[in-house]
Chains A and B, each alone.
Chain A
Amino acid sequence: MKRTLTVCPYCGTGCMFYLVSDGGRLIGVEPSSTHPVSRGSLCVKGWNAFAFVHHPDRLTTPLMRRGGELVPASWDEALATVVERLKEVQRRHGADAVMFASSAKATNEENYLLMKLARAAFGTNNVDHCARLCHSSTVFGLGEAFGSGAMSNSIDCVDRAGLILVIGSNTTEQHPLIGSRILAAARRGTRLIVADNRRIRLSRHADLHLRHKNGSDVALLSAMMQVIIAEGLEDRAFIEQRTENFPELAAAVAPWTPERAAAVTGLEAADIVAAARLFAGVKPAMIVYSMGITQHSHGVDNVRCCAALAMLTGNLGRPGAGVNPLRGQNNVQGGCDMGALPDVFSGYQRVADPALRGKFAAAWGVAELPESPGLPLTRAMDAAAAESLKGMFVMGENPMLSDPDQAHARHALENLEFLAVQDIFLTETAALADVVLPAACYAEKDGTFTNTERRVQRVRKAVEPPGEARADWEIICALAEQAGYPGMRYPGPAEVMDEIASLTPSYGGIAYDRLDPHGLQWPCPDRSHPGTPVLHLERFTRGPGRFVPVAYRPSAESPDAEFPFVLTTGRTYFHWHTGTMTRRSHLLDREEATAFVELNPQDAAALGVRDGEPVSVASRRGQITVRARVTEMVVPGVLFIPFHFAEGAANALTNNALDPESSIPEFKVCAVKIGRAS
């Protein structure tokens, strides 16, 4: 019997637990009693995080497509084919005709290595990962405002906040160990405003629940700022000492009277005024947001408003306050930090900067590195559909279910001359691949994940991978070797982290011997640095905080006579993303076994739909059949469908409308119709 301390593979909260194993098999999970985030607790996914690991569906051998079928192949053959075919695409169509999709589920070391493989061994900046789909708006918007696109504060700041504004985050379901802290804080008297039109659990504990229309966040937040400025509730000293561009912001929000915003948001003007006064009246106040803010064609503008509201009220650079985007995946923060992004190396060092390119080229032993930023993942799918991108390597992602407009995603992937997928199960995407490489899961390898509060924590191997499966980092290094690039030979992940630290100022003091037991929060510039729980204390990372005025833009697609409902998508508490792990975990799968749509009782009555009945939901892009869940959770006119289910894929319906600056898709708003399934 053995206990292995590691990090939960699901959300970005970063709970640590012990995997309990016996005879080489996982038999359970025990929470870490001392962990500063999870504090001896876990959510239902954490308690079940061992349950999929030995599932018989695990990939155990490389697969290659022969005669239209995926059949077992040797590692040598599979690796050689991947490299030959990608290089061949590059010879025929140019270095940027291939795309590398990295993974927010993989470790920091693996994300670093994949971006190094793309840049140093394949000479392209076409590398990105699913942060494009979740918080690219944050990375852009907060980067512009503060100089750092990460959560400004720490999770334990929830315990110190006087007020918490939760906007576009169903925290108790999606970051349960953060949500439960918010819930506990509200019971202790911390004021709570929830802005989200779903009746989420936190709304039942809120002082104020604002059920504004989907896509109207800019109007709501602008009006709150207008009220604060009009009533003189802003923090003048903070604005003068710490920020720039305030007059431009004030001018931009001035027309947003509560009455005007009421017309756009569907709220009562008085509720907007009440929210503004409440928010400005309590310090420290913390803003917590997630996909409800970011996944819009104006996601960056939403983020800018959150940043501005916090600066306006002096709520940055102090404990219990801040702008706190909750990162979704276990290592989506790390995936970004490691430069699995098309425009930056690790630590957000720009590829366009010749000095930085020179630094990385010298360290990596290559003559030069590509200069122009590569394609974001969403643009790469568009390019594949348009046949300008020809080859793709996907590590641990499942765009067939996770990307907007599934027919478009399928068309893009099928258009490729060559697709390789590295994963732990044969996902819907892997099923389309020419070569499939079997990977070890989180419980079968070493490395680090970085959680949403920038805490870099150790992931540890508890059991052996199944069959011939290998750790992602080992596969990537083998691909580099196959490509004739000798710069990726490492004894293990610890040495990869040493290289990361040597090239990445914010990770300069991160080393495995310093990460026990519960990690370090970056920035951690050197080995004597204790880590940084709260950012922007004396000054913002960029210098002065910048107010960026925005103009309200409606969502790309509005309901009309033919498609009269708004569809918003997301996750349920019991499943994770495309369900590859949770739908193979018995209790989680039993809890939510079928695709469903949330439908308000008024709408259900009008449509003659009963709870549990199959219904057809269609948009301009596709149609699915799911079961009706008749519930007050949603307001009339709005439907919610989780995107976990291949057999009722929400993303068959969603709109591939991208934010112009971050290229994030508008998962949160599209127009649909619904009726009884015939």
Chain B
Amino acid sequence: MRVLALEGEDEFFAALETRYLVRLPVLLADGSRALGTPGSAPLALAGGALPAKPTSAFFPHSGPLFSAGPEGVLLPPAPPKPLFVAGFTPRDLDCLRFIDRFFADGMLDDVYFRLRKGAVIAAVSGYCGAGGALLAPAGGGCDLEFVRDADRWLVVPYSEVGAALCSGLPDTAPDEALQRLKREGAALPDEDRTIIREASRLLREDLVPDSFWAEIGDRCIACTGCNLACPTCTCFGVQDWRYGQEVERGRMWDSCQLSGFMREASGHNPLGSEALRTRRRIHHKLAADVTRWGEISCFLCGRCDAVCPTGIGMLAVAGEMVERFGKS
């Protein structure tokens, strides 16, 4: 285990730029945090989950798939250097693991893996949540983890690449700090997980009536923010743009809250109401994925709840479900 002083952050990450395209949390001009590049804005590793999903480094909001013209088919160029992406919270790591598996299963998504392959993943945890709250250390699932302890980061490598990258930092051993943070993290209450599991059970046992979804659907303005903010939402739409003799095919994040997402060519829509679409979105994460992948695919990152303008993000809806239909 290594240690990085807060005043050493800039230098440490800037030095990585010779070998990597570095993406890490920065503080933007209006106080928003986002994945940025070293030197573009002040670093903001602390502050909790980034508002936008860090998986967008590999699966951006929109991007090219290929272009076709007289010269034949051209794939977008591979990045000149592998990515180094910092800022995943432990819950974000669960999301990344989930979509890595999803994009790799069956037909490999080469566009995703063009960016994902060889990328270094750095997590943040410890006392670096919103308002200094404690995020329980992940203990793995990434190349290296930056665990905030008071005025320093404990840097814990989990892969050879991670170990090499932090090898220049001072060694802290023996130091009990990480063990203490792990103990404190393990002791954190996890009511959200209890709620989401109970909501999942209610759905799988078909204990939530249609009238509930009608109520929730009435509050959906179809902004699509829940899907676009969700790190485990991977649906995308495809479009072709013709520039002269060249056709450019690209993809962009899609949303199952849109009517067009499931509308059939005939015009019939098996999910023709906000109620059905909202039910489907939540059912997918809490019930269908349990059957398909063996786990609930909401890892409680909180982004959909933060981005929803009418208060029907996953945790809010799960909470209402449990309150109204759960065991009293």
Q: Do A and B bind each other?
A: yes
Chain A, 202-244, contact with B by CB distance < 8 Å: what is the 0/1 string? 0011000000000000000000000000000000000000000
List chain B residues, Cβ under 8 A from A46. 223
Among A36-44, A109-117, A560-568, the stretch in contact with B? A36-44
Q: Do B223 and A176 touch across chains, with their CB atoms under 8 A apart?
A: yes
Kindly identify which residue among B40, B221, B260 contacts A591, using a CB–CB cutoff of 8 Å.
Answer: B260
- Which residue from chain B places its CB closest to the CB of A516 in the assembled complex? B29
- Which residue from chain A places its CB closest to the CB of B64 in the assembled complex? A25
Q: Do B32 and A18 touch across chains, with their CB atoms under 8 A apart?
A: yes
Say yes or no: A184-B311 contact (C-beta < 8 A), given A18-B28, A51-B62: yes
Kindly identify which residue among B36, B254, B309 contacts A587, using a CB–CB cutoff of 8 Å.
Answer: B254
Bound-state CA distance A587–B228 (Å) is 13
Q: Do B225 and A5 touch across chains, with their CB atoms under 8 A apart?
A: no
From residue A589, how far is it (CB to closest CB) to chain B in Å?
A: 9
Among B89-97, B161-169, B188-196, B235-243, the stretch in contact with A? B235-243
- Which residue from chain A places its CB closest to the CB of B238 in the assembled complex? A586
Bound-state CA distance A27–B251 (Å) is 10
A245 on the B face (CB < 8 A) = no
Chain B, 11-39, contact with A by CB distance < 8 Å: what is the 0/1 string? 00000000000010000111111111100
Bound-state CA distance A551–B236 (Å) is 55
Kindly identify which residue among B37, B51, B219, B228 contacts A47, using a CB–CB cutoff of 8 Å.
Answer: B228
From residue A164, how far is it (CB to closest CB) to chain B in Å?
A: 15
- Which residue from chain A places its CB closest to the CB of B30 in the assembled complex? A517
A31 on the B face (CB < 8 A) = yes
A518 on the B face (CB < 8 A) = yes
List chain A residues, Cβ under 8 A from B63. 27
Bound-state CA distance A590–B259 (Å) is 9
Say yes or no: A1-B218 contact (C-beta < 8 A), given A34-B30, A587-B255: no
From residue A612, how far is it (CB to closest CB) to chain B in Å?
A: 5
B300 on the A face (CB < 8 A) = no
List chain A residues, Cβ under 8 A from B258. 44, 587, 590-591
Q: A residues 167-188 with Cβ under 8 Å of B?
A: 172-173, 176-177, 179-181, 183-184, 187
List chain B residues, Cβ under 8 A from A40. 51, 306-307
Q: A residues 516-537 with Cβ under 8 Å of B?
A: 516-518
Since A28-B253, A32-B30, A183-B310 are in contact, a sample of 4 more A-B pairs with Cβ atoms closer than 8 Å, ordered by chain A residue number, is: A3-B36, A40-B306, A55-B241, A590-B260
B276 on the A face (CB < 8 A) = no
Kindly identify which residue among A55, A176, A205 contacts B309, using a CB–CB cutoff of 8 Å.
Answer: A176
Q: Do B310 and A180 touch across chains, with their CB atoms under 8 A apart?
A: yes
List chain B residues, Cβ under 8 A from A176. 221, 223, 309
Kindly identify which residue among B29, B60, B307, B311 contacts A31, using a CB–CB cutoff of 8 Å.
Answer: B307
Q: Do A587 and B31 touch across chains, with their CB atoms under 8 A apart?
A: no
Bound-state CA distance A50–B61 (Å) is 10
Bound-state CA distance A172–B221 (Å) is 7
- Which residue from chain A places its CB closest to the CB of B228 in the assembled complex? A47
B252 on the A face (CB < 8 A) = yes
From residue B93, how far is it (CB to closest CB) to chain A in Å?
A: 21
A56 on the B face (CB < 8 A) = yes
A29 on the B face (CB < 8 A) = yes
Q: Do B219 and A41 touch across chains, with their CB atoms under 8 A apart?
A: no
- Which residue from chain B places its CB closest to the CB of A627 in the assembled complex? B267
Q: Do B223 and A44 touch across chains, with their CB atoms under 8 A apart?
A: yes
List chain B residues, Cβ under 8 A from A27. 60-63
Q: B residues 243-282 with Cβ under 8 Å of A?
A: 243, 252-255, 258-260, 267
Q: Do A586 and B224 touch across chains, with their CB atoms under 8 A apart?
A: no
Kindly identify which residue among A32, A34, A573, A586 contacts B237, using a CB–CB cutoff of 8 Å.
Answer: A586
The 5 A-B pairs at the shortest CB distance, nearest first, are namely A28-B61, A517-B30, A180-B309, A590-B260, A33-B32
Bound-state CA distance A180–B37 (Å) is 34
List chain B residues, Cβ under 8 A from A55. 241
Q: Do A201 and B218 touch across chains, with their CB atoms under 8 A apart?
A: yes
Please name 22 pairs of A and B residues whose Cβ atoms are closer than 8 Å in the assembled complex, sorted by A. Answer: A3-B28, A5-B29, A22-B60, A27-B60, A30-B32, A30-B34, A30-B52, A33-B31, A34-B30, A35-B30, A39-B309, A40-B307, A41-B309, A43-B309, A54-B241, A56-B241, A187-B219, A204-B218, A205-B218, A516-B30, A587-B260, A591-B258
B interface size (C-beta, 8 A): 46
- Which residue from chain A places its CB closest to the CB of B224 in the assembled complex? A44
List chain B residues, Cβ under 8 A from A573. 221-222
Say yes or no: A177-B32 contact (C-beta < 8 A), given A47-B223, A47-B224: no
List chain A residues, Cβ under 8 A from B32. 18, 30-34
List chain B residues, Cβ under 8 A from A2. 40
Say yes or no: A50-B62 contact (C-beta < 8 A), given A31-B307, A40-B307, A587-B237: yes
List chain B residues, Cβ under 8 A from A181. 309
Say yes or no: A41-B34 contact (C-beta < 8 A), given A27-B61, A28-B61: no
List chain A residues, Cβ under 8 A from B51. 30-31, 33, 40
Which among A20, A39, A516, A518 has the greatest number of chain B C-beta atoms within 10 A? A20
Bound-state CA distance A16–B62 (Å) is 20
List chain A residues, Cβ under 8 A from B86. none
- Which residue from chain B places its CB closest to the CB of A171 in the assembled complex? B221
Q: B residues 92-130 with Cβ under 8 Å of A?
A: none
B159 on the A face (CB < 8 A) = no
From residue A427, how far is it (CB to closest CB) to chain B in Å?
A: 19
- Which residue from chain A places its CB closest to the CB of B268 in the assembled complex? A612
From residue B33, how far is it (CB to closest CB) to chain A in Å?
A: 7
Q: Do B242 and A51 touch across chains, with their CB atoms under 8 A apart?
A: no
Q: Do A28 and B223 touch across chains, with their CB atoms under 8 A apart?
A: no
List chain A residues, Cβ under 8 A from B28. 3, 5, 18
- Which residue from chain B places its CB closest to the CB of A518 in the assembled complex? B30
Q: A residues 642-658 with Cβ under 8 Å of B?
A: none
From residue A24, how far is it (CB to closest CB) to chain B in Å?
A: 13
Bound-state CA distance A96–B237 (Å) is 50
List chain B residues, Cβ under 8 A from A18. 28, 32, 34
Q: Do B36 and A183 touch across chains, with their CB atoms under 8 A apart?
A: no
Q: Do A44 and B222 touch across chains, with their CB atoms under 8 A apart?
A: yes
- Which residue from chain A places its CB closest to the CB of B35 in the assembled complex? A1
